[in-house]
Amino acid sequence: MDRFKAMQVFTRVVEAGSFTRAAETLEMPRATVTTAIQQLEAHLGVRLLNRTTRRVAVTVEGGAYYERCLHLLEALADTEAMLTEGQRPSGRLRVNLPGRPARLLIIPALPAFCDQYPELDLEIGVSDRPVDLIQEGVDCALRVGPLPDSGLVARRVGELQEISCAAPGYLQRFGTPSVPADLAGHQAVHYHAGRTGRSLPWEYLEHGAVREITLPARITTDNTEAYMAAALAGLGLIQAPLHGLADHLRNGELLEVLPDYRPAPSLMSVVYPHNRHLSGKVKVFVDWLVALLRDQPGITP
């Protein structure tokens, strides 16, 4: 295996923390990954990684070598991007999308993208769980909400307008609130945030300030489709992005409540690791995705 390829394997093992996971994301046999690291350590004359039955940890020398490898590999990618500019992107692109935008907006629009880039193959993971892009070998992901300090590059898509709503049957039973004080005696469907492990509070804007209250709930879920299904079944009030509610509002399956006290908009971003920023296939997909989403009602650039 050539030196640069060995460096790529080494950096992926460090980032994944596992030979097996690195082999999966590189689409290589695990034995090949193990041999590459052994040969690299033999060539350098130092141990780069400490192995245990459960995990792989980088040594002091391995950490220093990892940082140098990142600079060299990014410089190589920069040079290749300059020389191959204008060539059609090809190969596999791994993306991760939240469930509802994926189903309603992105996947239905993919035929045009696939026709434009016929040599590009997409592997789409759909999950409301915020995946670890580096450990799982994902090239880019769409995220909704505040971004933690993850070391990822983030490109802003825009802000999602959100509303509060419920099914007509629920409102017939509990009444239609028009001001926050009317929420006494009501119940919500709770959404369990995968990143924090807590249910998101009920919030609204009043005189430009964000207010939060806690509503009781009998149903809690960590999936946006289940969250929507619970609202449609009349199990409680929900707060959700307007773009995903249009058909339900138009059909009368859901009704907006508290229109003068809407939640604060949610940030939507596309994120990707630093070492993907020069990839032509990542660039064309991110550009396409941002343009697609900014053209949707309920999303403000």
Query: What are 146-161's pLDDT values in tens digits?
Result: 887 667 888 999 999 9
Shared domain check, 70 and 47: yes
Q: What is the pTM of this model?
A: 0.72
Whether 254 and 168 map to the same domain: the answer is yes
DSSP 188: B
User: What's the pLDDT score for residue 253?
Assistant: 97
**Assigned token pair, 250:** 């138009």
pLDDT at 55: 78
Using the 8-state DSSP alphabet, how is residue 235 labeled? S
200 and 241 together in one domain: yes
Q: Is the pLDDT of residue 181 over 60?
A: yes
* Same-domain status, 120 and 257: no
Residue where the block lists tokens 């709503």: 165
- For residue 33, give its domain range: 3-83
213 shares its domain with 246: yes
Judgement on whether residues 19 and 51 belong to the same structural domain of the protein: yes
DSSP for residue 201: P
Q: What angle do CA 241, 261, 177 make, to 5 degrees?
A: 100
Reported as a pLDDT band with limits 50, 70 and 90, residue 218 is very high
According to the model, what pLDDT value does residue 28 have? 87
Residue 210 has a pLDDT of 92
Does 115 have pLDDT greater than 90?
A: yes
* Same domain membership, residue 260 and residue 281: no
Say if CB 142 and CB 268 are below 8 A apart. Answer: yes
Statement to judge: residues 193 and 129 lie in one domain: no
CATH number at residue 16: 1.10.10.10
Q: Pick from 62, 83, 104: which residue ends a domain?
A: 83
Tell whether 152 and 285 lie within a shared domain: yes
| Mean pLDDT value across the chain | 87
Q: How many domains does the chain have?
A: 3
- Tens digits of per-residue pLDDT, 266-287? 899 999 887 665 578 888 999 9
- 33 and 167 in a single domain? The answer is no
Reported as a single tens digit per residue, the pLDDT across 30-44 is 899 999 999 988 989
Claim to verify: residue 148 and residue 212 sit in the same structural domain:
no
pLDDT at 71: 76
Nearest to 107 by CA among 289, 249, 267: 289
Do 169 and 250 belong to one domain? yes
